[in-house]
Structure 1
Amino acid sequence: MAGVVLISSSIVRPINNSQSGRTKIHLTPFDLSLLQFDYPQRGLLFPKPDSDFHFISRLKASLSVALEIYFPFAGHLAKVENQEDNTVSFYIDCDGPGARFHHAEAKSVSVSDLLQPQGSVPDFIRHFFPADNFKSCDVSAPLLALQVTDMKDGVFISFCYNHLVADGTSMWSFLHTWSKICSSGSGSDHKPLVLKRWFLDGIDYPIHIPVSETEKPPSPSSELSSVPITKDKVFHFTKKNISDLKAKANNEVSSNDLKISSLQAVSAHMWRSIIRHSGLSREVETFCKVAVDLRQRLNPPLEKECFGNMTYLSPAIATVEELLDRGLGWTAMQISKLVSSQTNENCKGFAEDWVRNVKNLKSGVKSKMAGDTIIVSSSPRFEVYNNDFGWGKPIAVRAGPGNSISGKLVLFPGIDEGSIDVQATLWSDVLVNLLADVEFLENVTSV
C-alpha cells in the first residue's frame, strides 16, 4: 500500500446542523441514468505546509463551513419502495449525516514518487483516494468523501462524490469555495447556493425504476480475471500542440457552420490513436462518449453556476475504417456535431424515452472487454490550479480509480497556461503500442 496508513476517519457536518425544511432534491432521468456509475475521484497534490499550520484541523473546520453553503453534499441518497408496481424511487435528502473525512499518512512517499517521469501514474495512487467501490445507487455511502494524505514532502487532498447530486462543475465550485474559506478563515462573503430547480414538463417525479435495475451487481471476480490489465498515463498537450491539432483539423474540413474547438481536436486525436491500436476489425463501430454540460443548452437556460448534475454522456459513432481513413478533421467534426446536437429538444426526447424504457443501467465486464469506446470526462475549463487552502497552490492533479474501462480519458487544464493534460486509462498492450506511434507522439509532449 506504499505505506499509506489511515490515522482517523470522521464525519464532518455543516457548522449549523439544523437543516430541517431544506429542499428535497428530486432526480431527473439525466441523474438516474448514472445509478450504476462509480463515484468520480479526483485529487490535488500540494507542497507540504509549515508544521505550525495545523492543516488537518483547519481543513476540517473550513469544510464544516463550506458544507453549510453546499448543503446537498452533507445529505444522503434516500430510496423509496413503491409496492404498488414493484419499483423504487430515489431522491436526495438534504437533512443528512455529513461528509466523510479520512486523514492518512504516507511518510515514506515523496512528491517525486507520485509524479513519475513521462506521465506514468503509479498503481499505489489508488490508496490516496477515499472510495472503496462506491456506486451512485449505494444509499449507505456518503454523498461526499474526502481524504487528506500527509506525505514525506507534500500533501494530497482527494475527493469522491455521488454523481446523482453533482457534476464536475458543481464539485470544483465547492472545492474552490472550501479552499477560499480555509485560506481566509471566513465564509461570510459567499453567496447562497443556487439549486438547478429544473424538471422536464410532462415527466412526473419521483420517477419509478424497476427494482432489478437498481440492485448493485455482485463483484464479477471470476470474470474479471479474463479482463486485460489497465494502466494510467498522463499525456500533456502544450498550447502549441493544441494549436497545431486544431489548425490541422479545421483545414481538413470545409464546413462553414461548425468550427472545431481545441478540446474537440485533442479528443479526436486521442480517439483515432487509441482505436488504431485496439485490434478491432475495420467494419466495427466505435464510440466517443463526451460529457456535455446542459445548463446553457436548455430553454430557458439555467444559471451557469447552478448546483447539481447537468451533464449528459452522449456518443459520437464511427467505424474503425472511417476513423483511420478519413482523418483528424472528419473525426473531430463527428464530435463537434454531437456537441452541437445537444439542444433542448434533444434533451427532452432523451428524458421522455428514458422514462418509458428504463434499461441498461447495469454495466458489466463485457463493456470493459470490448475496447471500442472512448469516454471523455471532466474538462480543461475547470479551475483546478486555483485552489489554495492557505499554504500554496496545487502542483499537480490526478484522477483516481473508478469507472476504469480501457479508453477512459479524464481531461484537466495543464499547469502551463493554454495546455491540457489527459489522464488515460488503457489496456497495457494498447498503451505500449501508443507510446511507439510516431503520428500520435508528434502532437504530445512528455511531462
Structure 2
Amino acid sequence: MVQSCGQPRRRVRILSERVIRPSVTEYPRRCELSLWDLSMLSLRYIQKGLLFSVPYSTPIETIVDRLTSSLQIVLSHFRPVAGRLVVDSVDDDGGGITVYIACDDRGAALRLAAVDGVQVADVLAASDDVPSFVRDLFPYDGAVNYDGVSLHLLAVQLTKLEDGVFLGCSFNHLVGDGTAFWNFFNAWAEISRSPTPHLQLCSAPVLERWFPDGSRPPIRFPFTDEDQFIERFSPPPLREKFFHFTGAAIARLKAEANEELGTGKISSFQALSACMWRCITRARRLPKDETVVCSLAAENRKRLRPPLPETYLGNSLNAVSASATAGEIITRGIGWAAGMINESVARHTDVAIRETVEKWMKAPVVYRPVMERFCVFIGSSPRFNMYGCDFGWGKAVAVRSGSANKFDGKISAYPGRDGNGSIDLEVCLSPEIMTALESDAEFNRVVFNK
C-alpha cells in the first residue's frame, strides 16, 4: 500500500456490491496467456479511474442502472475480463504450473460507495499532493494479479461525492496492458452513452493471444509454490503529486534537446522524460559515479512484424532502458539525456522483441513489483484516449490512479485535459526527494513555462 504523507484519511463507505455478468453467454472456453501476460503475475491490478462533475439532477440510481446494463454488454465483447484465473499443476516429470483464464462468466464486481464531505475539488487537490483517500476510491487495494484465482478480474467502484462521482477500475494486468485497459474503458463508455445500448462496437477486441513462432500454449512455469514467484511489496511512505506541462513548455524542451544534438529525432515525450530523469537525479544528490536508469514502458503492437492489431486484448509491452552515471546526466545537457532515451527506443525493434521473447521462453521469469535502485520508470501514456471516455455525463474532470505498482521513482504519464500537446505526470517519490524536486530550478522552469 502506498502511504501518503501528512494527510488525513476520509472514510469511504461501501453501500452495495453486485456481480455483473455478460448479457450474452456462450459455451465456456479457455483463454491462454502469453509470456507478456504471465510476466505480470506478481504485479498489482491496473488501477485507473475518472473523476466526473455530475449535476445533482442526475439520480445516482439512474447512473448505476446505466453502468450495469452497459457493463453487461461490453463484457460480452471482452470475454476474458469476465472470466477467472486458473492455476493448474503439471504432474509429469518436469513439474511446474500452467496459468490461464477460464471464460466461464464469473463476471465483474460493481460497487456503489460514498464519501462524505468530499467535493471534486478535494480530489483534484490542485498544487497539493494526491489526497490519501483517493486510493480508497478503488477496489482490491493491495491485490496482486495472481489473486485473480479468487478475486474478480475486473472490479469497479462508483463513489458518490458531494458534487460528482468517481469511477475507479481495478483491472487484472494478466487480462491486458494499458492499451487494452483504455480500449475496454472507451468501449464501455461508448455503449453507456448510446441512446440505445447494443452489441455493436466501433472496434471489437481481438481476443486471440500472441505466441512467438514455433511456440505452443500453454506456457509451463517451472514453479511449484506461490512463494517462488509472488512477491507482495509494500513501499515506504511516498509523496504523490501531479504536475501539468503545457504543450508550449514541452515544445520548447523538444526544440532545446534537438538543437543541442543537431538533429530532429528527439520526440516531445523523450525530451520530457529526459528532463524528469535529470531533475530527479539531481534531487537525489547521488555520487557522480552512481549508475542511474531511465526506463519507459514500450508498446510492442506496432513494432512487431507483422504488427498486432491496436485492439489486441492482452499485454504487449516491454521496458526499454537507458543508463548513465549521475554525473553524466546532470552535466551533459538535456539533449544528451534525451539522445540516450531515443537510442534505447530505436533499438526496440521486432528483432529485439523476438530475442527477448526467446530468452524468456528458455527461462521464464515474473517481473518484480519494484524497479532497481535510483531508477526513474515512466509508465502509462499520454496517447491513451482517457478523456474520450464519456459515459453520458460529459468529459471527465481528471484521471487518477490507485496505490498499485508505485514506488520511489515511478512516474505515470497522462494526456493533459486541455489537449494542445499538454501532458500530466503523476510522480511518486520519497518525501525528501519530492521536496528537492519542487525546488529544482530546471524543473520549475518547465512546469511554469518560464
Normalised TM-score (structure 1): 0.92
In the alignment, what sits opposite 1:193?
Answer: 205
In the alignment, what sits opposite 1:106?
Answer: 115
Deviations 1:409-431 (A, max 9, x none): 11100111120000011111000
What is the correspondence of 1:229-240 to structure 2 with a 5 Å cutoff? 229-240=237-248
CA–CA separation in structure 2 for the residues paired with 1:15 and 1:266: 44
1:86 positional shift: 2.7
1:305 positional shift: 2.3
In the alignment, what sits opposite 2:434?
Answer: 431
CA–CA separation in structure 2 for the residues paired with 1:246 and 1:196: 39
Q: Which runs of 5+ in 1 are unaligned?
A: none
In the alignment, what sits opposite 1:353?
Answer: 359
- The equivalent position to 1:422 in structure 2, one of 413, 422, 425, is 425
- The equivalent position to 1:51 in structure 2, one of 55, 58, 71, is 58
Alpha-carbon contact 2:42-2:232 (below 8 Å) kept? no
Alpha-carbon contact 1:278-1:371 (below 8 Å) kept? no
Deviates more, 1:203-212 or 1:164-173: 203-212
Deviations 1:234-270 (A, max 9, x none): 01000111001111111111357xx111111111111
Change (3 A) 1:116 1:429: same
Deviations 1:26-57 (A, max 9, x none): 22222222221111211110012423461011
Deviates more, 1:200-209 or 1:375-384: 200-209
1:176 positional shift: 1.1
In the alignment, what sits opposite 2:444?
Answer: 441
Deviates more, 1:197-206 or 1:283-292: 197-206
- One-letter code of the match for 2:83? G
CA–CA separation in structure 1 for the residues paired with 2:232 and 2:352: 35
Structural RMSD (CA): 2.0
3-state SS in 2 of match to 1:394: coil
CA–CA separation in structure 2 for the residues paired with 1:144 and 1:6: 17
3-state SS in 2 of match to 1:277: helix
Alpha-carbon contact 1:283-1:320 (below 8 Å) kept? yes
In the alignment, what sits opposite 1:65?
Answer: 73
Q: Indicate yes or no: 2:152 matched with 1:142.
A: yes
List, as ranges, runs of 4+ consecutive aligned residues in structure 1 with deviation greater than 6 Å: none
1:196 positional shift: 4.7
Q: Aligned residues: percent identity?
A: 37
1:405 positional shift: 0.7
1:306 positional shift: 2.1
3-state SS in 2 of match to 1:346: helix
CA–CA separation in structure 1 for the residues paired with 2:84 and 2:100: 9
Deviates more, 1:354-363 or 1:301-310: 354-363
3-state SS in 1 of match to 2:67: helix
CA–CA separation in structure 2 for the residues paired with 1:218 and 1:301: 33
Deviations 1:141-182 (A, max 9, x none): 221111110111110001121111111111111111111211
Deviates more, 1:77-86 or 1:67-76: 77-86
Q: How many residues are paired up?
A: 433
Normalised TM-score (structure 2): 0.91
In the alignment, what sits opposite 1:322?
Answer: 328
1:21 positional shift: 4.9
Change (3 A) 1:31 1:405: same
3-state SS in 1 of match to 2:37: helix
Deviations 1:192-212 (A, max 9, x none): 432254210133321211226
Deviations 1:348-373 (A, max 9, x none): 11111112223464446xx5xx6411
Alpha-carbon contact 1:214-1:361 (below 8 Å) kept? no
Q: Which runs of 5+ in 2 are unaligned?
A: 1-8
What is the correspondence of 1:7-406 to structure 2 with a 5 Å cutoff? 7-16=15-24, 18-22=25-29, 24-49=30-55, 50-52=57-59, 54-84=62-92, 85-138=94-147, 139-184=149-194, 185-190=196-201, 191-211=203-223, 214-215=226-227, 217=230, 228-255=236-263, 259-359=265-365, 361-363=367-369, 371-406=373-408
Alpha-carbon contact 2:22-2:75 (below 8 Å) kept? yes
Alpha-carbon contact 1:183-1:389 (below 8 Å) kept? yes
Alpha-carbon contact 1:67-1:74 (below 8 Å) kept? yes
Alpha-carbon contact 2:95-2:224 (below 8 Å) kept? no
